[in-house]
């Protein structure tokens, strides 16, 4: 973990993940502690994003707990992970569903891009859309969603 930046900067690396059990073993800790460790997850996401590498969340060990797996996928997506390691076929559809943009997200992204680009042409950099602030950051988030959809 101390050299994650070196790992993500290495030639040929396109994605990075981590193992909670592996990490617990290396530091003499308890696996359960590192399964939910937000600091560890934030370090992985930050290093990956800083160097244009895809961050992929760790394994969820309880293959019978699909709802727990779903919750962990939703949390990982909200932290910036683009996917999750799976260890059982029952996890694949859930991961695909959670990490793919919803119709609502795609529609929001289209409205943001259209409205923001029109506003920029009018010389404005921040606007209100449906009562919410939209600025360059929101525009880039929306573009990321649409880029994903267009690549699929």
Active-site amino acid positions = 135
91/99 Cα distance (integer angstroms): 12
- The residues near 126 (Cβ < 8 Å, ≥ 6 apart) are 133, 134, 135
Q: Please give the helix or strand (H or E) that residue 128 lies within, else none.
A: strand 127-129
Q: Report whether 55 contacts 17 (CB < 8 A).
A: yes
CB 10 within 8 A of CB 53: no
Neighbouring CB atoms inside 10 A of 152's CB total 7
């Amino acid at each position: 973990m101390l050299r994650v930046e070196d790992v993500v900067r290495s030639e040929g690396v396109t994605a990075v993940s981590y193992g909670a059990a592996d990490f617990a073993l290396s530091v003499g800790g308890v696996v359960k502690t590192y399964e939910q460790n937000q600091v560890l997850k934030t370090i992985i996401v930050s290093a990956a994003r800083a160097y244009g590498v895809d961050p992929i969340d760790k394994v969820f060990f309880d293959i019978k707990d699909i709802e727990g797996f779903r919750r962990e996928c939703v949390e990982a997506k909200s932290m910036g992970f683009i996917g999750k390691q799976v260890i059982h076929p029952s996890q694949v559809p859930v991961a695909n569903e959670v990490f793919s943009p919803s119709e609502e997200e795609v529609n929001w992204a289209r409205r943001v891009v259209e409205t923001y680009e029109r506003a920029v042409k009018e010389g404005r950099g921040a606007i209100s859309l449906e009562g919410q602030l939209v600025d360059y950051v929101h525009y880039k988030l929306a573009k990321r969603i649409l880029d994903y959809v267009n690549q699929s």
